[in-house]
């Protein structure tokens, strides 16, 4: 059953405008309960996957769904801010503001332990193991699904701590369009547009966006060298254009094709004598998804996805004598990813479900700054998952799955997963999952010739994970999710001499454990309260120290008041505990944000939103900066100052 159907059903149940707003907030924690109930009703008859993922993946997992309306309520232009607000246990920290490198941690994980998907297709690259989410404008997102716990059986490498699936906007049953404009006091400007229509058996969606900002100064004036660039603010420009076509070839089959092109110019300011430092970027993302309903019991699917990233880095420095040096000019770094997946979803007469599939991935990349080229390599995998139907246990849902992977270095890895959803009472639900996973070495870890040297003998990291949670849905919505994870064969720098390091599989492991809490309560018919908090211990067992860039404590609180059907106001607070970055302490701050949203026409087709981030203009240490190849002393990077943003939306 697709997520669209679930949300639509929920929306029809709650018809009053205020109640729909409450339902929207409650769906952050209670969505999976509705999905599970619908799955019980639909014993026979499989449906197309409108979002590119398998319904089975939600079983036993704590799932957060961030809707388009929630994205706009949060300001709509910064995906990291959106994720930090609505996902307990997720730390999303842009190291230099928007459109920059980001540290992600999901339940105490490292960034490379999270798999990112776009409409169910892999986004993570193997160059550095990262995902550059800034190339996807939040204004063009229909919703975001965050699925916690091990998911390697269906998705492969990196799906250790969980999966984040970004669903792009598409046709929703009638012709529609939207224009949105946002401006803030940095200053920054964001403009986006979206239209969708249906012509005969073809549904077509077009979207475009443009973002630019002058940014803000990351460091105090005294931290810049006298010859550093006079323009100390870190700015950016980013443009996106995408199209999605869904063609019903017949009543039984459909083809979805998506393509997005992005280009941008992103400043990368340096405190050390740089007068120019920037990346020019061009990125293409595309996929094709064909699905055939052979019968009410059998659904076939074939997908191909492609990602091409080209970036050129330039850097010019000026010494104290006035001598300019072109350190780098248009130095290339980029990659190409190609993947293909075929699968079959079979539902037995008794209502049990089987998923069988195979996956192929191909990768190549290079970095002229780090002096390496990663030749084309491939990996193959087969996977299966079984969800039995127990007539004697109608409140029990169970799934078990396995996957075998053949990696480029001829390494073979097996992973398995067991998941359970148990209705204890009509209001109380138990969810649990047990599984293992893996992460392939990145191209940088294998081949880098600058800084820490690459090591072609590396093998994949492996993991074991347990997630166990309770969800209560009554007068309040309460979710408690505990987790434990162990990662072995750690790929970390090993000292060869006092000044030379090489990546190696260390005889050490990272062990993470903790808990997420999320509470949503309707204090009055007009006042909604949301509270969440997380504790994550993520320590290297050989040193006993918390791994870098992972705070132990995070928290979020929000009050939302509906003045009437057209106007709502809110206030939120976000706490980030201290964490270590390049050996120094960052974090340990509390930010307060406020906002108001108002429909300014009776038809609710035009909306104005005003938000104030960092209301008290707190000076916080967001991260620690250290120039990799200059290796000078680290500097504390500041978070954004108080920022006012005004956004206008027009729906047609």
Which range among 19-28, 289-298, 356-365 shows the weakest confidence by mean pLDDT?
Answer: 19-28
* Burial (CB count within 10 angstroms: exposed 0-12, middle 13-18, buried 19+), residue 211: buried
d(CA 442, CA 307): 16
d(CA 599, CA 651): 11
Angle at 287 between CA 284 and CA 291, to 5 degrees: 170
pLDDT at 141: 94
Per-residue pLDDT averaged across 397-407, rounded?
97
Per-residue pLDDT averaged across 348-377, rounded?
94
* Burial (CB count within 10 angstroms: exposed 0-12, middle 13-18, buried 19+), residue 229: buried
Residue 506 pLDDT > 60: yes
- Which of 58-62, 198-202, 504-508 has the highest average model confidence (pLDDT)? 198-202
Residue 388 is given by DSSP the state -
d(CA 359, CA 415): 14
First to last CA, the chain: 28
In the chain, the percentage of residues whose pLDDT exceeds 90 is 76
pLDDT at 17: 39
SS3 12: helix
Q: How many beta carbons lie within 10 A of that of residue 464, not counting itself?
A: 18
d(CA 79, CA 118): 14
pLDDT at 44: 30
Residue 21 pLDDT > 60: no
Asked whether the beta carbons of 333 and 132 are under 8 A apart, the reply is: no
d(CA 182, CA 333): 32
SS3 content of the chain, % helix, strand, coil (to 5): 10, 55, 35
> Which position has the token pair 């008290």?
616
Residue 629 pLDDT > 90: no
pLDDT at 76: 77
Per-residue pLDDT averaged across 272-295, rounded?
94
Beta-carbon contacts of 425 under 8 Å, excluding residues fewer than 6 positions away, are none
At residue 499, φ and ψ (nearest 5 deg) are -120, -5
pLDDT at 39: 30
Tell me the residue ranges of DSSP E strands in 249-351. 253-267, 274-293, 298-318, 324-347
Which range among 133-142, 250-259, 337-346, 411-420 shows the weakest confidence by mean pLDDT?
Answer: 133-142
d(CA 66, CA 21): 13
User: For the chain, which residues make up each domain, given as ranges?
Assistant: 3-651
Beta-carbon contacts of 570 under 8 Å, excluding residues fewer than 6 positions away, are 73, 558, 559, 560, 561, 594, 595, 596
Per-residue pLDDT averaged across 475-491, rounded?
97
The DSSP element (H or E) to which 73 belongs, if any, is helix 68-73
Handedness of CA 290, 294, 295, 297 (dihedral sign): negative
The DSSP element (H or E) to which 562 belongs, if any, is strand 553-562
Q: What is the pLDDT of residues 417-471, one digit of tens each?
A: 999 999 999 999 999 999 999 999 999 999 999 889 999 999 999 999 999 999 9
Asked whether the beta carbons of 67 and 7 are under 8 A apart, the reply is: yes
- Classify 3-651 by CATH class: mainly beta
Q: How many beta carbons lie within 10 A of that of residue 96, not counting itself?
A: 24
Kindly write down the DSSP assignment for every residue of 289-300, as one continuous string.
EEEEE-SSSEEE
In the chain, the percentage of residues whose pLDDT exceeds 70 is 90
> Which position has the token pair 């997992």?
61
Q: What is the pLDDT of residues 590-605, one digit of tens each?
A: 999 999 999 999 999 9
Per-residue pLDDT averaged across 265-278, rounded?
86
- Residue 619 tokens, joined: 């000076």
> Which position has the token pair 């000019």?
329
Residue 121 half-sphere exposure, CB side, CA atoms within 13 Å? 27
Per-residue pLDDT averaged across 30-45, rounded?
32
Provide the greatest CA pair distance for the chain: 83
d(CA 231, CA 236): 13
Q: What is the mean pLDDT of the chain?
A: 89
Q: What is the pLDDT of residues 85-132, one digit of tens each?
A: 999 999 999 998 888 889 999 999 999 999 999 999 999 998 988 788
Angle at 264 between CA 310 and CA 146, to 5 degrees: 85
Residue 563 pLDDT > 80: yes
> Which pLDDT band holds residue 231 (cuts at 50, 70, 90)?
confident
Asked whether the beta carbons of 400 and 418 are under 8 A apart, the reply is: yes
pLDDT at 252: 95
pTM given for the model: 0.91
* Burial (CB count within 10 angstroms: exposed 0-12, middle 13-18, buried 19+), residue 617: exposed
For the chain, state the CA radius of gyration.
Answer: 24
> Which pLDDT band holds residue 632 (cuts at 50, 70, 90)?
low
The DSSP element (H or E) to which 522 belongs, if any, is strand 510-522
């Amino acid at each position: 059953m697709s997520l669209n159907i679930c949300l639509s059903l929920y929306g029809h149940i709650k018809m009053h405008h205020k109640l729909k707003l409450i339902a929207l907030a409650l769906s952050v924690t209670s969505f999976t309960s509705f999905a599970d109930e619908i799955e019980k009703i639909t014993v026979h008859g499989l449906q197309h996957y409108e979002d590119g993922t398998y319904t089975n993946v939600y079983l036993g997992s704590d799932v957060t769904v961030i809707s388009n309306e929630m994205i706009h309520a949060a300001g709509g232009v910064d995906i990291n801010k959106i994720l930090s607000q609505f996902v307990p246990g997720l730390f999303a920290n842009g190291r230099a503001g928007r459109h920059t490198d980001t540290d992600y941690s999901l339940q105490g994980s490292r960034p490379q332990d999270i798999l990112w998907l776009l409409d169910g297709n892999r986004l993570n690259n193997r160059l550095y193991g990262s995902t550059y989410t800034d190339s996807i404008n939040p204004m063009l997102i229909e919703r975001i699904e965050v699925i916690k716990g091990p998911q390697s059986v269906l998705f492969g490498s990196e799906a250790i701590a969980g999966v984040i699936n970004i669903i792009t906007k598409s046709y929703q049953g009638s012709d529609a369009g939207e224009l949105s404009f946002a401006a803030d006091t940095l200053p920054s400007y964001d403009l986006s547009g979206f239209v969708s229509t249906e012509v005969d058996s073809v549904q077509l969606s077009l979207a475009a966006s443009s973002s630019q900002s002058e940014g803000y100064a990351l460091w105090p004036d005294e931290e810049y060298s006298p010859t550093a660039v006079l323009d100390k603010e870190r700015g950016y420009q980013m443009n996106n254009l995408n199209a999605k076509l869904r063609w019903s070839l017949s009543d039984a089959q459909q083809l979805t094709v998506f393509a997005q092109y992005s280009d941008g110019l992103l400043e990368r300011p340096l405190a050390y004598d740089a007068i120019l430092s920037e990346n020019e970027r061009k990125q293409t993302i595309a996929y094709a998804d064909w699905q055939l309903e052979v019968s009410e019991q059998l659904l076939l699917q074939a997908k191909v996805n492609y990602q091409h990233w080209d970036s050129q880095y330039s850097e010019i420095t000026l010494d104290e004598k006035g001598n300019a040096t072109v350190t780098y000019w248009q130095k290339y770094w980029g990659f190409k990813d190609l993947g293909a997946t075929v699968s079959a979803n079979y539902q037995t007469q008794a209502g049990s479900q089987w998923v069988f599939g195979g996956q192929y991935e191909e990768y190549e990349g290079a970095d002229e700054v780090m002096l390496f080229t990663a030749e084309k390599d491939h990996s193959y995998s087969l996977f299966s998952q079984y969800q039995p139907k127990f007539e004697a246990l109608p409140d029990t849902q169970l799934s078990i799955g396995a996957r075998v992977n053949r990696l480029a270095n001829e390494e073979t890895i097996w992973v398995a997963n067991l998941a359970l959803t148990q209705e204890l009472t009509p209001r109380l639900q138990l969810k649990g999952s047990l599984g293992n996973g893996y992460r392939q070495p990145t191209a940088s870890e294998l081949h880098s010739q600058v800084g820490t040297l690459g090591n072609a003998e590396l093998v994949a990291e492996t993991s074991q994970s347990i997630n166990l949670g309770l969800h209560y849905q009554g007068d309040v919505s309460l979710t408690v999710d505990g987790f434990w994870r162990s990662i072995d064969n750690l790929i970390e720098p090993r000292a060869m001499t006092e000044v030379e390091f090489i990546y190696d599989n260390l005889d050490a492991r990272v062990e993470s454990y903790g808990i997420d809490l999320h509470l949503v309560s309707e204090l009055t018919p007009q006042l909604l309260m949301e509270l969440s908090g997380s504790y994550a211990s993520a320590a290297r067992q050989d040193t006993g120290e918390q791994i870098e860039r992972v705070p132990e404590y995070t928290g979020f609180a929000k009050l939302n008041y509906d003045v009437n059907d057209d106007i709502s106001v809110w206030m939120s607070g976000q706490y980030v505990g201290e964490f270590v970055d390049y050996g120094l302490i960052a974090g340990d701050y509390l930010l307060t944000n406020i906002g108001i949203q108002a429909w300014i026409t009776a038809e609710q087709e035009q909306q104005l939103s005003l938000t104030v981030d960092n209301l008290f203009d707190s000076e916080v240490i967001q991260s620690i900066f250290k120039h990799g190849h200059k290796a000078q002393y680290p500097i504390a990077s500041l978070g954004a100052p108080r920022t006012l943003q005004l956004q206008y939306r027009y729906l047609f």
